Amino acid sequence: MMMNHRRLCLLLFVFFLLETTMLPWITPLSWQSNIEVNPHLVLVLVLFIGLYVNRHIALMYGLIFGMLFDFIMYSPMLGPVSFAMGLSGYLAGLMQGRLYSSIVISMLVVGGGLLFYDATLFGIYRLFRVTHLTFEWAFLHRMLPSMLINLLLALAAYVPARRLLEGMPGKPAEPEQ
């Protein structure tokens, strides 16, 4: 049981390192001229954890790794990334068992979680006057392009992530019939 969580934590940390060090260099500059694309590998895996393991575990990983992002990279203040990532993972976990689990439903939940994460961050930054952009501009030039790229990454990682996560402990017991 503990070995699976260690492996998952190590995988999240590797994704964190890739997302903060390598992916900004790999993203083509032509993508960054009119739009801003931010790969969210850790968030995609947190959303998968919510869907296939447990919402509470997704909340925990989202809070921990979101705080790492707050400290290391993105946030002009502490807490918004942690809050948004943890809440997105928790809300994705609420869909576990309520919807039939298929690749289409999983991608819809991941896409919704990605948009919710970006919209929550935008709302917090707008509330505290960190950003002065309009929601329409941010949605069309940041949130939507990032969501589409991250959905492609999620689609590529769907089968390995589902195999890894469905064997994890923490799933609620299935009712006997």
What confidence tens digit (pLDDT) does each residue in 99-124 have? 777 889 999 999 999 999 999 999 99
Instruction: Quote the pLDDT of residue 132.
Output: 86
Q: For residue 31, what pLDDT band results from cuts at 50, 70 and 90?
A: low
Residue range 35-63: mean pLDDT, rounded: 92
Residue range 16-28: mean pLDDT, rounded: 79
pLDDT for 124-160, tens place per residue? 999 998 888 899 999 998 899 999 999 999 999 999 8
Q: Which residue has the higher pLDDT, 5 or 90?
A: 90
| pTM greater than the 0.75 cutoff | yes
* DSSP per-residue codes, the chain: -HHHHHHHHHHHHHHHHIIIIIHHHHS-GGGGTTS-----HHHHHHHHHHHHT-HHHHHHHHHHHHHHHHHHTS-SSSSHHHHHHHHHHHHHHHTTTTS---HHHHHHHHHHHHHHHHHHHHHHHHHTTS----HHHHIIIIIHHHHHHHHHHHHHHHHHHHHHHHTSTTPPPPPP-
Instruction: Quote the pLDDT of residue 144.
Output: 94
Q: For residue 3, what pLDDT band results from cuts at 50, 70 and 90?
A: low
